[in-house]
Structure 1
Amino acid sequence: MPLSPSETTALLDRLGHHPKKKLGQNFLIDGNIVDKSIQLADLPSSGNVVEIGPGLGTLTRKLLDSGQNVHAVEIDKRLADNLEKSEASAIMEGKLSITRGDAVKNPLGSLPKTAENYSIVANLPYAISSAWLESVLSTARLPKRMVLMMQKEAVERIWAKSGTKEYHALSIFISNAYELTEKHPVSRNCFFPSPAVDSMLIRMDIGEKSYLFSAKARNLIRKIFTQRRKQLGSLAKKENPSLGKIILTWLNEIRKPHTSRAEQVGSAEWKRLGELLND
């Protein structure tokens, strides 16, 4: 079971640790939410799971108990030290590895390169959620499933539809690779300290026709969305001739007027631009 607020406070005091707002450190204290995360993950009897920001190890222990090999990434030295001590036996048995550092730079920790059909289950530090997801999408192999605790507003932005102000480049990259299969609101009272924002537990499954944009395509689409109010035809003319020609060809193929703006183009239509850039 997760530690109660008083137990969490006592442990943090023993560790000489104060939750760091800039790292998005809000510790899960509701056992029902931990159990729900495991249920949504629908993990095999044994497998590989990446966990980002294990913190005090509440979710880590549940993952280990379910038979998983857990590859955790923790940037906070005190929390990493504590987890190494509390889960020393799992580390000795090769069931738990802890990578110390920035999960944005190393989004999969020490996950073996031979690991297939792995999942990610994490109470994701809100400060890095979008940047970390971008990093995951830039890896050579995608997890088959992600069960993530995220800020509600971030979920709404990531899964925004075209034609809305929330729609942006990451919305396009994610929706072409994954399907949002479940989402559940989570009370602020399930965390210590209580965050100032609402949270949501989501499950994303890799799509049957999952598509990954190349680095070239991602960079271009991000660039276009920084000028989201400008007409795509005008933006094409500012690029080098060969790239500009590809953009205009793309607009013609998807039957969008050159006066269209980035937010007016659907996710599947952006995929076609990615394909043209790879030809």
Structure 2
Amino acid sequence: MPLRSEHADTVTTLLHADDGTPLARLRLREDDGTPLAERVLPVPGADLAQVAAQARHDLAGRRLTTPDDALARALVDGGLRLRRAATEMHHDLAGLPLLPPLPAGWSLRPGGWDDDLAEGLGAAYGPEHPDGRWQDSDTKQIRSMFEQGDPVPPLAEASARVAGPDGRSAGHVLCAGPVPWTEDDCAWILNLGVAPSAQGLGLGRALLVHAMHGAHAAGLPRLGLEVADGNHARRLYDSVGFQVRARVLAVDLPPLG
């Protein structure tokens, strides 16, 4: 049965069984050419095997994300691969920690992109990183944000690069906000990384706290992010007061035929 909006004035879409029975709520959008079916949440009492089968038919060719572990298991039990497992975390921007001092010779600079940053993040996101290697497409997407504001422009107040005594960029935090994939006014950390040669100096914490203060200064009440399972940065987010909001499990649905 065709997908349709739950109400005329909402972005929520309903997935139906062939007899018209509602099975799940979700949001449809596209991210950098990838069609997404986001936050797929079965309606109470729905049969998960039926939800999984209908999703594979009506949402074929999309990347499905869900906070529902049981639905993800049903899809995997049906022969699909769990592409990514992550946790969505939020920080209500009240009682912010103080900005930590930077090591001598280091400084925070406005957000942007350069070859040094590309080299550093390429080294930080190696083959063992939970999100995989840094790709040319990652660089392309960040450049597009800064140059065309696509898919969203950076939030200047909350984004920054960190530069060493030699003036070269060694890490950054990239934020946007408000963003269209959340249901409330929320700033979002799209990327936070420090080159391996500069790790262990507290630069990641400095960038994160800068983003928190910048999002607050921009008038946004919360800062959100996703952290993949196995990413050691989770300890940093916990330490400054980020709270778990939901699981985010992603499965690529194959095209029909």
TM (norm. structure 2) is: 0.29
**The structure with more helix, counted as a fraction of residues:** 1
**The structure with more strand, counted as a fraction of residues:** 2
TM (norm. structure 1) is: 0.27
Greater length-normalized contact order (CA 8 Å, ≥ 6 residues apart): 2
Larger Rg: 1
